[in-house]
Structure 1
Amino acid sequence: MNPTFEKVHKKDIHILKNLYSLYLHDLSRFTENLDIGMDGSFHFDDLEKLCNEEGFSSYFIKHEEGIIGFVLLLERPFLKKENDFGVNDIFILNKFRGKGFAKQSLEKLFKEKPGKYFVIELQENEPAILFWKKVYKQLNIKFDERKELIDDEPCLVQKFTV
């Protein structure tokens, strides 16, 4: 069964925050810039604020009615440059990884929202880089890639059109 998307509503922001803490925990192994908070979880303080911004869309990824992850998508008017969309973050719970849910979710997203995209990965995050390159290959997406320093972090920026 294919995963489905469900828009994150204001009443469910606390669920997204909990999942985002797990995402940041995973990401912390690739950067020195993420630390655990005094309450024992990782925080992105602007997450709730961003969720209220026009052009910042958050979706739960669901499978068999349960939440298995999320995708955060940047779009216009939040984006000001040449891109229509940016996959800011995608996260799948460990239990569901390696089963194609992330790729299927992205494929669905690209069909529903065609346009010019960008993705940014930390250069140290080899699993994410390998994942994205596998997605590009499987979905026959041609991409341009460049290295860039973003917030003092060495990153790869990939741009493509679907």
Structure 2
Amino acid sequence: MKVNLEKIKPDKKEVLRNLYSLYLHDLSAYTEGLQINDSGSYEFDSFSLIWEKEGITPSFIKVDEKLAGFVLILEAPFTTKVDKVINDFFILNPFRGKGVAKAAVAEIFSQNKGSYYISELVQNKTAVHFWKKIYQQHGIGFEEHTEVQDGEEVVYQTFVVS
């Protein structure tokens, strides 16, 4: 199984928009803040910024050239206290539980050294557990805090990948 990241070009933004709807649907299980729109999908309200602003890198996660998910990484000017923010990370259901997410994170870390910030909804215990397991497997020390962001209780970790 070969897992790799592929930067998303503007001509593939509709594919990313479709993946975002699936991702937000999954997140809706943990928050009342996400609602389906009149056309039957979930929308990322800042989606257009992905290609309009510097400091946003969307990448497809691929397994043997098949689309398996996506990651959205933010850098300056969107972040000032750390180098990178993994803003969104999503693996499609058929690829879950097979080591794809773990391999994708290893690829992210190998391509992006520096300080990081990652947050998860407190209620999304699967995501919180996943990231703590990743830190342990990579021997990464991290600081963790809980706060309210946009009306949602989140837990977040900061750490350094060298």
Worse-matched range after superposition: 40-49 or 93-102? 40-49
One-letter amino acid matched to 2:2? N
Structure 1: segments with no counterpart, 5+ residues: none
Matching of residue 102 in structure 1 with residue 98 in structure 2? no
Aligned counterparts of 1:93 and 1:67: Cα–Cα separation in 2: 8
Q: Tell me which stretches of 4 or more aligned residues in structure 1 moved more than 4 Å.
A: none
Provide the identity percentage: 45
Q: 1:143 maps to what in 2?
A: 142
CA contact (8 A) 1:123 1:154 kept: yes
CA shift at 1:2, angstroms?
2.7
Q: 1:9 maps to what in 2?
A: 9
Matches within 5 A, 1:113-132: 113-132=112-131
CA shift at 1:49, angstroms?
1.9
CA contact (8 A) 2:70 2:91 kept: yes
Q: 1:35 maps to what in 2?
A: 35
Q: 2:111 maps to what in 1?
A: 112
Equivalent residue pairs, number: 161
SS at structure 1 position matched to 2:48: helix
CA contact (8 A) 1:53 1:78 kept: no
Please report the RMSD computed on the Cα atoms of aligned residues, expressed in angstroms: 0.9
Q: 1:69 maps to what in 2?
A: 69
One-letter amino acid matched to 1:10? P
SS at structure 2 position matched to 1:12: helix
Aligned counterparts of 2:92 and 2:52: Cα–Cα separation in 1: 24
CA contact (8 A) 2:50 2:58 kept: no
Worse-matched range after superposition: 45-54 or 102-111? 45-54
CA contact (8 A) 1:13 1:48 kept: no
CA shift at 1:78, angstroms?
2.7
> Could you report, residue by residue, the CA deviation over 1:71-125 in whole angstroms, capped at 9, with x for unpaired residues?
000112332x220000001100000001111111111111111000000111111
One-letter amino acid matched to 1:71? V
Aligned counterparts of 1:61 and 1:98: Cα–Cα separation in 2: 15
SS at structure 2 position matched to 1:119: strand
TM-score (norm 2): 0.96
Structure 2: segments with no counterpart, 5+ residues: none
